Amino acid sequence: MNINDRFCGDKRLRIIEAAIAVFSRKGFHGAKVEEIAEVAEVGKGTVYEYFKSKKDLFLEMVLYIHKKYEDIAAREFLGVITFRQRLQEFFRVTLEFLHQHKEMALILLADHPPVDGDVNRLILLKKQQQVSKVSKMVEHAIEQGEIRPVNPKAVAQLILGSLAMVGSQVVLGEEEKEPGDGKLEQDVIDIIMRGLK
């Protein structure tokens, strides 16, 4: 173990971070393993020491991104009680994550085109998990009487759909320096809350 190891961190992680940068810019088929290796500052062969194929690296990268997002979300949600607050937090945390990790965001948001059965299954699964998480949040709010009784799935679509739209503005729009300062986000939340009262 030399001094470099401390600096460079675990190679596996370096490769995943590089994969995020390259896959998000070029898409799955457009990205070259060699470029990922260069960005990660490792040899091309080294990528294959940690991941058995390009596809495997892509799948592991998707898992890593979702995990990172969920960790942040979980941390921020502690102590939040009312539905409106939760919704606010959900938008805020998500948009901030997107803003800070634009590259990852492109992968989270993008309906990446069919790459392969395995990839599609994983991405679909992750989407469904999110829908069901939001649905549960809504169901809980209904039980608490915070909002009127509505189809929780419909609300989940509404919330996730508009969040994705606003989010893609944040990611693609380079003119906006600060993500939260835009009233757009608040306006969207307002309309949703009014519709649910």
What does DSSP assign to residue 79?
T
Residue 67, interface with DNA (CB under 7 A)? Answer: no
Q: How far is CA 141 from CA 3, 19, 51, 138, 180, in A?
A: 52, 39, 43, 5, 25
Choose among its own copies, DNA, none what residue 99 binds, the Cβ cut-off being 5 to 8 Å by kind. none
Residues of this chain, 119-148, that bind DNA according to CB under 7 A: none
Return the number of the residue (8 or 126) whose C-beta is nearest its own copies. Answer: 126
Do 89 and 161 touch, CB atoms closer than 8 A? no
The C-alpha atoms of residue 14 and residue 41 are separated, in whole angstroms, by 8
Give which of its own copies, DNA, none residue 45 binds (C-beta under 5 to 8 Å, depending on kind). DNA
Q: Which residues bind its own copies (CB under 8 A)?
A: 24-30, 106, 109-115, 124, 150-151, 153-155, 157-158, 160-166, 168-169, 172, 183-184, 187-188, 190-197
Give the integer Cα–Cα distance in Å for 160 and 6. Answer: 40
Q: Please tell me whether residue 42 binds DNA under the rule CB under 7 A.
A: yes
Please choose, from the candidates 150, 187, 147, 184, the residue with its C-alpha nearest in 3D space to the C-alpha of residue 167. Answer: 184
Indicate which single residue of 31, 105, 109, 188 sits in contact with DNA (rule: CB under 7 A): 31
Residue numbers at the binding site for DNA (CB under 7 A): 1, 11, 31-34, 42-46, 48-49, 52-55
